[in-house]
Amino acid sequence: MQFSDVPLPEDLRDVHRAYLDGMREGDTEALDGLLARDFTLTHMTGYVQPKAEWLAQMREGRFVYHSITEEDVTWDVEAGGRVHLTVRTVTDATVYGTRADWRLRLSTDYARHDEVWTPQRTVATTW
């Protein structure tokens, strides 16, 4: 069931913003608490990176997110109450020493745990 024309629930929007803010601010401690324990980030190369490795590389300066501009957001509810959120962004980032404006589609699966939305995994592709 797609809800692209309906506003995101406020609590889900807040978690989504905290996720992007954590990336922009390089706040790996906040991201560690926000993301699921077994969270993975699938890069546009196809590499599936565990949360701990991604956050460690952020702390090392291998991933620096200077700005993330959201172009549009769509979302739908999947079986079991999970939410799939897709955001097209223009992300100014330095990745392994190369700074560029990346046109990324971030597709994130969210699940509720203890009444809190938790990002489970994100798949980044280009658009």
Task: Check residue 9 and give its pLDDT.
Answer: 80
Buried b (16+ CB within 10 A) or exposed e, 48-81: ebebeebbeebeeeebbbeebeeeebebeeeeee
pLDDT of residue 41: 98
| pLDDT computed for residue 5 by the predictor | 54
- Position 93 scores a pLDDT of 97
Could you give the domains of the chain? 10-126 (3.10.450.50)
pLDDT score of 6: 56
- Give residue 2's pLDDT: 47
Q: Residues of the chain whose pLDDT is less than 50?
A: 1-3
